[in-house]
Each structure stands twice: as structure tokens, then as C-alpha cells.
Amino acid sequence: MNPYVIYTDSACDLPASFLSELGVKAQSLSFRFDGSEKEYLNSDIIAEDFYAEMRNGKVAKTAAVNENTFKTAFEKEVAAGYDLLYLGFSSGLSTTYNSGRLACEELSEKYPDRKLLSVDTLCASAGQGLLVYLAAEKQKAGATIEEVAAYIESIKMNLCHWFTVDDLVYLKRGGRVSPAVALVGGMLNIKPVMHVDNEGHLIKVGTVRGRKNSLKALADHYDELALDHANSVIFISHGDCLDDAKELAAILKAKDAPDVQLITHVGPVIGAHSGPGTMALFFLGKER
């Protein structure tokens, strides 16, 4: 059995240091600000600066990873003697996964003695990151590449993503809410509650009034859906609103949930569409 590497992409929103600890590699999606030709990778700008630009009115446009970029990255691992498992950003939100899948297929033909597997996580942000973490834990426990791939396939429909945003203007720009809804919502302090569905799309589930109620709504969904209420692995990601992320963690703790294992930024790829003030909660549940 060949050793294998787990690969993902930057839509997982896991810090580089965390990925390094897991032994996982990631290919970065890119973005640029309107009016500028400069293209950024996640590592080129810290999250606080990215969100400061958005608050100042700049609009960020994101770009998927293309197949050739993946092939170049993956071939370095395969040529060095490793098999490879790619866990990709939801195909319901980006073409990135499909590019990674095609790169795996082409390299499999070139290197028939290597195994290159890909899994469409149908996840985003630290929801994708949570699956990557669980895959890495399985790998460390001695699971084969096929066993890890099968494990992620078996649990990805249980990966709950619950999101809210602080300002509807960013969802309006992406066409997820109408200008009228954004205007009225802003006037009435209405906050959407959203999740990622079984097809990997971000959809609105409901609305609440006020930021504190939106955080409580996320925690309520944990209460309702968590597979193992007292022992879940919980990740939180946020759009440069750390105090609110800590408040959400405290609300969960008051509901006897375990400590949140990771609080991380929503990176530019997701944040470009959801904006500053995004709050997201991730855990394994009875269903998405």
C-alpha cells in the first residue's frame, strides 16, 4: 500500500497552520477586487484587511481553480510516490471540484500504479474543513485511502452548515436576495438563517429579527440536529466578527454542547459573497 496525501482547496477556510498540523495540503482559489487586475490567493491578504476593503465598498470577484493548476500540484505528489485523495469545494457552488476530479482522472491514466480519488464534499467554508479534519483523523488512525474516501462519502450528508449574515447587501450583490428584500431587511434589522442543502447549494431557510436572535437560531439548530449532542466536533467560522463567534460558542456551551474545537475566519472565497459579519456553525447532525 502506497502512502497517501489528503488534498483540499482554500474554500475549506482552515488556517494554514491547522492544515499543516493535519498533514493536509490545499490549493488556493483566487479573487480580485473590481477595478483591479491584481489577483490574490488566500495567503496574499489577511482576513481583517480583506473585510476592511469590503466595508470600504470594494467588491471581490472569485475564481475557481482550473484543471491544469490541480494537475501540476497533484503530479508533484504522485511522482514522489504518493497516492492522493482530493476533498473538494461543493460542486453546487463552484467548478473547482470538477477541475480537481478531472485532474485526478487524467493523472490516473498517466500513473496507473497510483490511486487518485476525489470526493465532492458538497460542503463550504469550515463545513468542508470539518470533513477534511475528520478525514485526516481517520488517516492518522491507520485507515486506507479507500476507507477514508468511503467514510467521507458516508457522512457528508450529515454535515450541517448553518449560516447567518449581518448585512443583506452582500447577498443582494450575489443575487441570493432581491434589492427589495435587502432594503426592507436592513430597515427592519431582519437576519436570514441559511444552510447548505443536500445538493451543496446555499439556501435561505428562515429569518429572525436582530443579531442576537440570529446567533441563537444557529445554536437552536445544533440542539435540534446534533448526532452526539455532548461530544460533537464543532467548528465556527466568521466574517471578521470574532466577538460574535465567541458569543455563539458561549450560547452553545450554555446548551451543554462541548467546547468549540475551532473558530476561524470565513476566507475571501466565501466572504466575497457573504460579507463582513457572516457567522457559520458546523457539526455532524441527523441530517443536513
DSSP string, 165-190: -S-THHHHHTTSS-HHHHHHHHHHTE
**Count of helix runs (H) and strand runs (E) in the chain:** 11, 13
Q: Is the pLDDT of residue 175 over 80?
A: no
What CATH number labels 158-284? Answer: 3.30.1180.10
pLDDT averaged over the chain? 93
- Rounded mean pLDDT of 139-157? 98
Owner of C-alpha cell 440542539? 223
Please tell me the predicted confidence (pLDDT) of residue 206: 87
Alpha-carbon torsion, ordered 132, 133, 139, 141, to 10 deg: -160
- d(C-alpha 74, C-alpha 103), whole Å: 8
Give pLDDT, residue 125.
Answer: 97
d(CA 138, CA 233): 14
Q: Which three cell numbers stand for residue 234?
A: 464543532
Q: Looking at the predicted structure, is the pLDDT value of residue 284 above 80? A: yes
Reported as a single tens digit per residue, the pLDDT across 13-67 is: 999 999 999 999 999 999 999 989 899 998 899 999 999 999 999 999 999 999 9
Predicted confidence (pLDDT) at residue 232 exceeds the cutoff of 80: yes
Helix/strand/coil for 236:
strand
180 C-beta neighbours (distance < 10 Å), count: 9
Task: Classify domain 4-156 by CATH architecture.
Answer: 3-Layer(aba) Sandwich (3.40)
pLDDT band for 190, please (50, 70, 90 cuts). confident
pLDDT in tens, 70-87: 999 999 999 999 999 999
pTM exceeds 0.85 for this model: yes
Q: Using CB atoms within 10 Å of the CB of residue 83, give its burial: 0 to 12 exposed, 13 to 18 middle, 19+ buried.
A: buried
**Boundaries of every domain in the chain:** 4-156, 158-284
